[in-house]
Copies of this chain bind each other. A is one copy, B any other.
């Protein structure tokens, strides 16, 4: 087994990744791979390479390794690159040697993880690269594929992005519906502060500069500027003037992200990097 340690991307612990991989193997292999079991002799060994068919940022080798290990404890998986690396089309990102049958069985699950997560990492790093030179950081959202958030947020980190909150439990985010129910932003913030201690952050969504002003006057330190025009974002940065951390969201694409970043906001959040990233095509070549 090769250590996949990548300081910055912070892979989840292997023991916590395993349940995801087991579930995927149960779903794909089930009662067994009829084809390989019937055609491939048990003692046939093979050596294969994971090769992206397109240039991209790699994530999920750690899950691929787990899939091969669970099916064939004695197969030797070696990463050519750690998760989070950029790989060019046709390069070898990992090799696997061992029983042919087992490798054929785990192949699709391994590739599905690597393809899906590398797709997210690649989409993220495209945004990250585009805003390079500004101070803006790309962050994800809770718009992830149901059941895969832990891995998808890891893929965002592999792509150079940062993680917003993991769920409803670990931070407060006051949106328009909450404000409407509370009667005013002041009342909503007051309730949130009354019920939380010092660890969960409180972020407030502002759709207009008037709302931003109100949030700033309440001493709110983290503010989400939702769907604001570039001009308003720029003014918002001026109004905050360092008193608050500003996150911009809404209509974030490769075409728009640079201009958004140049307004001076601190964070730009994108749901698309997790929910709409196309798969990175990776194949297992024998």
Q: Are B142 and A145 in contact (CB under 8 A)?
A: no
Which of A86-94, A146-154, A209-217 contacts the other chain?
A146-154
Q: How far is the CA of A63 from the CA of B145 in the complex (A)?
A: 13
Are A181 and B100 in touch, CB under 8 angstroms?
Answer: yes
**Which segment, of A197-205, A225-233, A256-264, faces chain B?**
A197-205
Q: Are A108 and B142 in contact (CB under 8 A)?
A: yes
In the complex, the answer to whether B146 meets A24 with C-beta atoms within 8 Å is yes
- Is the CB–CB distance between A23 and B279 below 8 Å? no
A70 within 8 A of B: yes
Residues of B close to A241: CB separation below 8 A: none
Please judge, given known A-B contacts A8-B195, A139-B197, A192-B35, whether A147 and B27 are in contact too, CB under 8 Å.
Answer: yes
Known contacts A3-B42, A164-B197; A146/B116 CB under 8 A: yes
Q: Number of A residues whose C-beta is below 8 Å from B?
A: 106
CB pair B39 A13 closer than 8 Å: no
Given known contacts A174-B35, A178-B39, is B192 in contact with A30 (CB within 8 Å)?
Answer: no
**List of B residues within 8 angstroms of A133 by Cβ:** none
A84-122 contact mask (Cβ, 8 Å, vs B): 1 or 0: 000000000000000010101100110111011001000
Of all A-B residue pairs in the complex, the 9 with the closest CB atoms, nearest first, are: A5-B42, A162-B197, A24-B146, A276-B278, A33-B168, A170-B170, A10-B37, A275-B279, A30-B169
**Residues of B close to A276: CB separation below 8 A:** 119, 278-279
A144 close to chain B: CB less than 8 A: yes
Q: Which residues of A from 262 to 286 have beta carbons under 8 Å from B? A: 266-267, 271-272, 275-276, 278-279, 286
CB distance A7 to B178 under 8 Å? no
- When distances are taken between beta carbons in the complex, the residues of chain B under 8 Å from A26 are 16
Residues 231 to 253 of chain A near chain B (Cβ within 8 Å): 245, 247
Contacts of A272 in B (CB 8 A): 278-279
User: What B residues does A181 contact at CB under 8 A?
Assistant: 39-41, 44, 100
Residues of B within 8 A of A113 (CB): 146
For the complex, give the distance between the alpha carbons of A40 and B40 in Å.
Answer: 41
Contact of A39 with B191 at beta-carbon distance under 8 Å, contacts A16-B26, A29-B13, A197-B162 already known: yes
A38 at interface (Cβ–Cβ under 8 A)?
A: yes
The answer on a CB contact under 8 Å between A164 and B199 is yes
Complex interface: chain B residues within 8 A of A16 (CB): 25-26, 29-30, 32
List 24 A-B residue pairs with CB atoms under 8 Å apart, sorted by A's residue number.
A7-B37, A13-B102, A15-B25, A16-B26, A16-B30, A20-B147, A23-B146, A28-B167, A29-B167, A30-B150, A31-B166, A31-B169, A38-B194, A44-B181, A104-B177, A111-B143, A115-B143, A116-B145, A119-B276, A137-B197, A147-B147, A162-B195, A162-B197, A166-B169
